Amino acid sequence: MVNSRRLRNSIILIIIIFLCLVVMTISFRGSGFTENIKARTLDIFEPVQEKIFSFFNPVAMFFASIGDYIGLRQKYFELEEENAILRESYTRDISIKVENDALRKLLELDVRKDHDVIVVKVIGYYSNSWQSEIMLSAGTNDGVQKGMGVVGSSGLAGIIISAGNNSSRARLISDPQSSLGVRILSSRKLGLIEGSQEGIIYLDYISSDEEIYKGDIIVTSEYGQYLPPDILIGRVSSVSDIAGDPYREIVIEPFEDFRSLEYLMVIRQ
């Protein structure tokens, strides 16, 4: 058995040596013959090579696409981080601009020329069917007292109902418990505005025979303890006559937008 294996190995070695000699001989012969061998070799292996390429090319493309995906994913996260920084910067700039615009409008109000006021910031908001109140960033240490008026850039917002050392609470004129004496600017007639659970402001005690029209301006009267007269409140948005009622149902649209209160002024004198 051992001799048979040695004989077989010897034969294989002789064949390999013979093939090497043949290849060397071919290499030293004319180029035409060599090129012919190469051409025949290509003809033989071309179908095999094509099949191998057809099989392995999608695999290569797949792994290449994985590399591209990883690169694109990394780029995506980098862009997301950059966009987040830009959004934060943009939001901060817009916030500063809004605050500056609000403060500038307050500083330009005529009420500052005739009254002692303090600019405050809204630090809390309480709104439901029973109350519409705001918390302000100034209190008795700043001269704020109960009954003082709170105005925004467009008109009256509310009245101070309590004050601590460094903060105070104001009731908006739309609050169901709010009640304030006012005048109709055009006729100088007196009336009373009251809030409601729906947040609607009504002008009460205007009889059906008194002249009042949609668009009439409503201002504060001179009968408030701290609140000066002729502070803008709002305009008449609707006038209705109710059968059997001596008074009209009059709805007031406030000039101040209570949904976006940020900086206000408290009229101290």
pLDDT value of residue 94: 47
Q: Return the HEC string of 165-227.
A: CCCEEEEECCCCCCEEEEEECCCCCEEEEECCCCCCEEEECCECCCCCCCCCEEEECCCCCCC
Q: Are strands 217-220 and 232-240 parallel, antiparallel or unpaired?
A: antiparallel
- pTM for the predicted model, two decimal places: 0.60
pLDDT value of residue 210: 87
How do residues 34-51 score in pLDDT, each as one tens digit? 555 555 555 554 555 555
pLDDT value of residue 154: 86
How do residues 97-108 score in pLDDT, each as one tens digit? 544 555 555 555
Q: Would you kindly state where each structural domain of the chain is located, as residue ranges?
A: 35-108, 114-267
CATH of 114-267, one of 2.40.10.340, 3.90.180.10, 3.50.30.10, 2.60.200.20: 2.40.10.340
Which is more confident, 213 or 22?
Answer: 213
Q: What is the mean pLDDT of residues 57-73?
A: 63
pLDDT at 181 over 80: yes
Which residues 6+ apart lie within 8 Å of 27 measured at CB?
A: 34
Which residues 6+ apart lie within 8 Å of 215 measured at CB?
A: 235, 236
